[in-house]
Amino acid sequence: MRIEPSDDVVGQQLEDQIVLVNLQTNRIFELNQTGGRFWDLLQAESDRERIEEQLLSEFEVSEDELKAEVDALIPQLVQEDLVKVHERD
């Protein structure tokens, strides 16, 4: 799956969190350290598998735990119109 940030979203690092703002809705969404790093990687890479590989190399977490966290995060980002998800053909 490919994931891309929506055009109308800006992010700002605040201590150990990233705060995202959808400029169309003015809604604010906060990401913890792991979610924030996911967002950082998403700025340069749209392939979920590659992002997860990088996160696994940076955080002490099992692959199953990471996949579960990402599985929970992506629908939240989609619901807030912060990302667009494209299934591979």
pLDDT in tens, 21-40: 999 999 999 999 989 999 99
Residue 64: count other Cβ atoms within 10 Å of its Cβ: 8
Q: What is the pLDDT of residue 89?
A: 58
What is the rounded CA–CA span in Å between residue 43 and residue 58? 17
Q: How many domains does the chain have?
A: 1
Domain of 36, in residue numbers: 2-84
Please, what is the average pLDDT of the chain? Answer: 92
Q: What is the pLDDT of residue 77?
A: 96
Any idea what the CATH number is for the domain that residue 29 is in?
A: 3.90.930.60
Write the CB contacts of 76 (distance below 8 Å, at least 6 apart in sequence). Answer: 29
Retrieve residue 2's tokens.
């490919």
The residue ranges of the chain whose pLDDT is under 70 are: 88-89
Q: What is the pLDDT of residue 70?
A: 94
